[in-house]
Structure 1
Amino acid sequence: MSRSSNRKQEIYKIDWHLPAASSTAAARHISSDLFVLTYGVLVAQLCQDYPSDEDVNKCLDSMGYNIGIRLVEDFLANSGIKKCRSYSETVDIIAKVAFKMYLGITPTTVGANDGGNGFSLVLDKNPLVDFVDELPAGRPTLSYCNLLAGVIRGALEMIHLPADVTFIQDILKGDDVTEIGITFQRRVDDKKSKKNK
């Protein structure tokens, strides 16, 4: 009996760490590669569990949403960002700060629609598809990176900016780039009219 309890104590004493020569950047690179590989396994498992692409897309969006509502606190604490004054400023912060912090890329932002509440993030390189050449067979409507849409939607909702977030273009579907559309649910005019009342 005492021998097995000593063994348990030894297991907990193992010092798990990266080699001292590794830098923080190398540690982040290792974890991002691990995340991308793990994400691929997750999507493959969901494709086995759910027969329809729509169900897989909803599940990925829901998972991303739950990540986003928790991640926004970390983002605000570590980025030092203050309150944004406009939707375009918010989208710029998402592209230039949030994507850089968590995925190591900086998407291009495409300006507002006529209502001033719709924008796009264009990703020339999408790290989530680094190890993926094409969508799984028989899954033409699968939105492989729908987790990202959910993360953005959840984070925006937590800062009281509800938005619809969808994929407009997808490299895995033959497009040249990945484009994520963000449409804020309140129009700019709505916000101004509420302030004037």
Structure 2
Amino acid sequence: MSRPAHRRPEYHKINKDLFVLTYGALVAQLCKDYEKDEDVNQYLDKMGYGIGTRLVEDFLARSCVGRCHSYSEIIDIIAQVAFKMYLGITPSVTCNNSSKNEFSLILEKNPLVEFVEELPAGRSSLCYCNLLCGIIRGALEMVHLAADVTFLQDRLKGDSVTEIGITFLKKRDEKKYRGKK
């Protein structure tokens, strides 16, 4: 029996609270397994990278976004579509330099820290949500965009907002992406 062609596949959503609590348990276990915050941060980034390389296919299939022609378009898609689709939030975007290859995503609310009041004692350099940086970096790499993604500010460290910095490492060849005249 074949499936009707007009039906879209169903996507099952995980309960947000379950995901956030599971992520918290994962970070807590990593803190027990690794003495240094840098090792935990690196592991979270590596996990996120693996997720991002796979998540980009789902994102492109479900979002139906077209080709982007500038870094600012890419960042807007990440903020307005991807974050909304997967985390239910829309961060604000700022451009940090005149060459328009450095951007910040400012999260007023970070769902991954919903049940976290502060970092564990003695873990001041822990980037609790470093998984997000890895996800963004992995997804961008899968669409052939090398980027450096880091946390610039973190509410868990006493900052007023959570800010993720994204720096595109290669200058896009604009001629390659221009439409024919």
Provide TM-score, normalisation by structure 1.
Answer: 0.81
CA positional deviation for 1:83: 1.1
Give the match for residue 140 of structure 1: 124
From the superposition, tell whether residues 70 and 49 of structure 1 become closer, same or farther in structure 2 (CA, over 3 Å).
same
Structure 2 CA distance, aligned partners of 1:35 and 1:105? 15
1:44 partnered with 2:44: no
My pick for the range that moved more, 131-140 or 104-113, is: 104-113
SS of match in other structure, 1:135: coil
Q: Residues 116 and 187 of structure 1 are in contact (CA less than 8 Å); yes or no, is this contact kept in structure 2?
A: no
Percent identical: 68
Give the match for residue 153 of structure 2: 169
**Structure 1 segments of 4 or more deviating over 6 A?**
none
CA positional deviation for 1:165: 0.2
Over alpha carbons, which structure has the higher Rg?
Answer: 1
- Name stretches of at least 5 consecutive residues in structure 2 with no aligned partner: 1-9
Structure 2 CA distance, aligned partners of 1:135 and 1:185? 31
SS of match in other structure, 2:15: helix
More helix by share: 1
Structure 2 CA distance, aligned partners of 1:123 and 1:143? 15
1:111 partnered with 2:91: no
Q: Compute the RMSD of aligned alpha carbons.
A: 1.8
Structure 2 CA distance, aligned partners of 1:187 and 1:119? 14
Q: C-alpha deviations, 1:48-95, integer Å up to 9, x for none? A: 000000000000000000000000000000000111110000000000
Q: C-alpha deviations, 1:118-170, integer Å up to 9, x for none? A: 00000000000000000000000000000000000000000001100000000
CA positional deviation for 1:193: 7.9
1:121 partnered with 2:113: no
Give the match for residue 61 of structure 1: 45
CA positional deviation for 1:114: 2.3
CA positional deviation for 1:115: 2.3
1:79 is aligned, of 45, 56, 63, to 63
My pick for the range that moved more, 173-182 or 30-39, is: 30-39
- Name stretches of at least 5 consecutive residues in structure 1 with no aligned partner: 1-23
CA positional deviation for 1:187: 2.9
Q: Residues 69 and 155 of structure 1 are in contact (CA less than 8 Å); yes or no, is this contact kept in structure 2?
A: yes
2:73 is aligned, of 67, 75, 89, to 89
1:187 is aligned, of 168, 171, 174, to 171
- The count of corresponding residues between Structure 1 and Structure 2 is 167
From the superposition, tell whether residues 47 and 98 of structure 1 become closer, same or farther in structure 2 (CA, over 3 Å).
same
Structure 1 CA distance, aligned partners of 2:55 and 2:16? 16
